[in-house]
Structure 1
Amino acid sequence: MRISQANADDVADLARLLWLDTHDEEPAPRSVDAFAVELAKWWAAHQDSHLAFVARLLRPEIVGMAWVALVPRVPRPGATSRLSADIQSVFVKPNQRGHGIGSALVEAASKHATHLGAFRVTVHSGRKAVPVYERLGFESSRQILQRPPA
């Protein structure tokens, strides 16, 4: 397995993975190809704040992804370049699960965010994935609160 940072050439594969991950939950565009066009436009506009990491096996096909959103924080005296990061859209193809690919992707995205200076790396997880994130060192925090939708 090889983990690397995705680039514009990977958009079609990333779109397919996002499509697979959410096609049962959300209204989808006409086709995965139409979504790939939308994703390419979105990523071009957000490439400074959203990085994707991908997993490949021996073939060039991408079998998993993890995104990290980088959020600049308000400067403070003595800390003028503050940054937070949020792991998003982690997905591994179902036939490749259970081999540590998702964990390796989360580790790569988290380490990169920390290397860039992120003070904190967070993740909003579904219940089934919580134990995985806990094994990777993520902890619940009473200081991070969320406001439910109205």
Structure 2
Amino acid sequence: MRVERADGEDIAGLAWLKWQDVAPEAKAGRSLDLFTDELATWWRAHADTHSAFVARTDDGEIVGMAWLALLPRVPRPGAADRVSADIQSVFVLPAHRGCGIGSRLIAAACAYGTSLGAPRITVHSSDGAVRLYRRLGFSGSAQLLQLRGPA
């Protein structure tokens, strides 16, 4: 198993994983081909702010992904190139869970964000993944607050 940064050749595999990660009703009336085209368009529009990391089997099959979103922060004196980073859309196919692939994907995305100068990496986790993120060193912060919009 290898984990690496995805490129444009991986769009179909990333779209397929995202397709697997949503409930059937969310896909009603839609096709994987259409979603793949939408993701390709989105990828091109967000190439400067979002990077995907994939886990591949030895035969090249993509079985997991993690995304890292980078957001430029307002400069301050002495720090003109500030950036924030956020882990997004981590997913591993059920048959490949429990052997560290998710941890490796998150670690790769975090290392990349840190290499680009992000002083911290955030994540909005599902309830089921909180334990994983805590095990990887993520913790809560009284300074990180959120305001929920209307449902």
Conserved in 2, the CA contact under 8 Å of 1:53 and 1:66?
yes
Q: How does 1:129-144 map to 2 (within 5 A)?
A: 129-144=129-144
Q: Between Structure 1 and Structure 2, how many residues are aligned?
A: 150
Please tell me the root mean square deviation across aligned C-alpha atoms, in Å: 1.2
- Residue number in structure 2 paired with 1:6: 6
TM-score normalised by the chain length of structure 2:
0.96
Say if 2:39 is the partner of 1:39.
yes
- Residue number in structure 1 paired with 2:117: 117
Give, in whole Å, the separation in 2 of the partners of 1:54 and 1:10.
8
Amino acid at match of 1:87: I
Conserved in 2, the CA contact under 8 Å of 1:54 and 1:64?
yes
- Worse overlay, 18-27 or 55-64: 18-27
Alpha-carbon offset, residue 29 of structure 1: 5.8
Moved over 2 A (4+): 23-29
Q: Which runs of 5+ in 2 are unaligned?
A: none
Kindly provide the CA deviation profile for residues 86-113 of structure 1, in whole angstroms up to 9, marking residues without a partner as x: 0000000000000000000000000000
Give, in whole Å, the separation in 2 of the partners of 1:25 and 1:117.
40
Q: How does 1:1-150 map to 2 (within 5 A)?
A: 1-24=1-24, 26-27=26-27, 30-150=30-150
TM-score normalised by the chain length of structure 1:
0.96
Alpha-carbon offset, residue 39 of structure 1: 0.1
Alpha-carbon offset, residue 27 of structure 1: 4.8
SS where residue 137 of structure 2 aligns? coil
Kindly provide the CA deviation profile for residues 118-143 of structure 1, in whole angstroms up to 9, marking residues without a partner as x: 11100000111000000000001111
Give, in whole Å, the separation in 2 of the partners of 1:77 and 1:28.
51
Conserved in 2, the CA contact under 8 Å of 1:29 and 1:35?
no
Q: Which runs of 5+ in 1 are unaligned?
A: none
SS where residue 89 of structure 2 aligns? strand
Give, in whole Å, the separation in 2 of the partners of 1:128 and 1:8.
30
SS where residue 108 of structure 1 aligns? helix
